[in-house]
Chain A
Amino acid sequence: MSINLNAASFSYLRPKGRVIKAILPTTLSIQPGEFVAVVGANGSGKSTLAKLLNGLLLPTNGEVLIDGHNTKDADNKIFAPRQVGLVFQNPDNQLTATIVEDDVAFGPENLGIPPEEIRARVDRALKTVGMTEFKDKDPHNLSAGQRQKIAVAGILAMEPKYLVMDEPTSMLDPVGRRDILETLSELRQKSSIGIVYITHIIEEIVEADRILVMTEGKITAIGAPREILTDESLMEMASLYVTRPTELARRLAKKGVPVSKDLITVEEVVKELCSLK
């Protein structure tokens, strides 16, 4: 059981016969329970990849299999979004209802789940994101971070096996961002949901199992955070910056302080510095 891309590629057709190759043939496998981060500059194909993963876009060539089901098969029109949830960037443009719990219910309603079961799922999803007390509120009167949590709850209520998040924090203030990240880490601890997390904020993904780096429609690198985030030339090629702890360790090393250069979190740097005499 996994999401598999078999030489899947995707091209957008533009007027006058222009073809934009958003994703070059890519082979990739995402396991349930895994936390995969996808980074890359704007226009590197991250969002297109996200839409390929849940059947919102169908590959131009090659195939995408979700637990063995091809997204191209008409029978899987409902199956794909049921298995792979997708949270978008702008919380405002994902919510359909004027009351929080009605919105969270939208997905399960589409799946034709019986009302009592929807009730239970909505309550559970709102509890997971910590928004139970807001269930009767109008999302318009909540903060952007809270609205994004509602959007996450709306997807969780569909009980997908995989959750794809496309820059879910990029339109949020620091508090909203922290909120979403806390929800995410709690989700990872309490469930075995597979997460694909797209971002260009490196600090958010130091705990990922794997990081994919995308440049111009290709996966240019794939590996553990320490491997990827400390590879200076790779990061530069993908128009990414290194994390502040990495930068600090690197500068210290340059000045002759004996610290390791592949530190990625604040805790690691603190530990390393405290062990110096």
Chain B
Amino acid sequence: MSGRSLALGQYYAAKSPLHALDPRVKLFLSLTIVTALFFVDNLAVLVGAAFLVPVLASVAKVPFKWVLKGVRPLVFILFFTFLIHLFLTEGATLFAIGPLRATGEGLLKGIFYSTRLILVILFSSFITLTTSPVQLADAIESILSPLKVIRFPAHEIALMMTIALRFIPTLLTEAETIMKAQKGRGANFDSGNILKRARSFIPLLIPLFISAFRRADELALAMEARGYAGGSGRTRLHSLKITPRDVAWLFLGLLIIFSVVGLSWRL
């Protein structure tokens, strides 16, 4: 558990057109891409679309390797999806393990669905790769703000997100410190069965919670001392504005997406 090496949402800081793009446009485009991927029913087109990932990575100035990292936590699910399709699709038998029959149709289907899933993950990861958490919170506030009319706390939710992001590394560092202190007094965090281990975390969690509440209290005071009085009447340093360039990127993105989907329907 290292607080310092924590890469939140794997944001990759760089100066690229994709980083400069309005986060709302990025959110919209990636939602469209993900939806579009489910309309593509042709493996060849899907594989073709995969070549757009390194292109997008180079536009975003994010190393391709870094982009691929996003898939790693989901390798198990991908593998599982592949196996399910491989063995549970009707068709000509390729090979059999006990009662399980792998079919040729299953193999194709497995490859198709795993590729689709990988692409969904890769394309949507560009959002977190090229948008700082703060910008993302701002975008969410802006998208949800029409709901303020029905008293939906859009500003508060965005602020909560920002503050949570701000305090995650602080609390992780603190957890580390408390853990070391408890270990120094003979606490054992990593042996015994699950129940025993869970119980050994109580002396870690209680001081951590107490400290988090104290911090929250102090932060509330400090925010009040800085004139915070809710979302109304606030201005922003970086207010989100759609520029002609954002619109151009939006249309370029939509054009590519629709031509890929169109192509797959033609074939």
Contact = CB atoms under 8 A, between A and B. Distances in A.
B226 A110 contact: yes
Nearest to B167: A92
A131 B236 CA distance: 21
A251 interface: no
Q: For the side of the interface on B, what is the size category?
A: 20 to 34
A93 interface: yes
Interface string A75-91: 00110011001101010
A106 B228 contact: yes
Interface of A: 51, 54, 56, 77-78, 81-82, 85-86, 88, 90, 92-99, 101-102, 105-115, 118-119, 122, 136, 138-141, 151, 154-155, 158
Given A98-B133, A106-B223, A141-B4, 11 more contacts: A81-B225, A98-B162, A98-B166, A105-B236, A106-B228, A109-B237, A111-B227, A112-B235, A118-B237, A138-B169, A158-B227
Contacts of A141: 4
Contact of B237 (A86, A101, A138, A151): A101
Nearest to A121: B237
B188 interface: no
17 contacts: A78-B227, A81-B226, A88-B221, A90-B218, A92-B170, A95-B166, A96-B163, A98-B132, A98-B165, A102-B237, A105-B236, A106-B226, A109-B237, A110-B226, A110-B228, A112-B233, A118-B235
A70 to B, nearest CB: 18
B162 A107 contact: no
B5 to A, nearest CB: 11
Interface in B212-267: 215, 218-219, 221-229, 233-239
Given A92-B170, A102-B237, A109-B235, A86 B133 contact: no
Interface SS of chain B: helix, strand, loop or mixed? helix
Interface string B130-159: 001110000000000000000000000001
Nearest to B214: A93
B195 to A, nearest CB: 34
Nearest to A79: B227
A107 B236 CA distance: 10
B225 A86 contact: yes
Interface string B158-202: 010011011001100000000000000000000000000000000
Given A56-B224, A109-B234, A115-B239, A97 B218 contact: no
A105 B166 contact: no
Contact of A110 (B4, B133, B166, B227): B227
The 5 A-B residue pairs with the shortest CB-CB distance, nearest first, are: A105-B237, A93-B218, A110-B227, A94-B222, A107-B226
A140 B170 contact: yes
A114 B223 CA distance: 20
Contacts of B233: 112
B240 to A, nearest CB: 11
Nearest to A54: B225
A96 B166 contact: yes
Given A56-B225, A77-B229, A81-B225, A122 B132 contact: no
Contacts of B162: 96-98
B237 A119 contact: yes
A107 B133 contact: no
Interface in B1-24: 4, 13
Nearest to B166: A98
Contacts of B227: 78, 81-82, 107, 110-111, 158
Contacts of A101: 237
A86 B222 CA distance: 8
A115 B169 contact: no
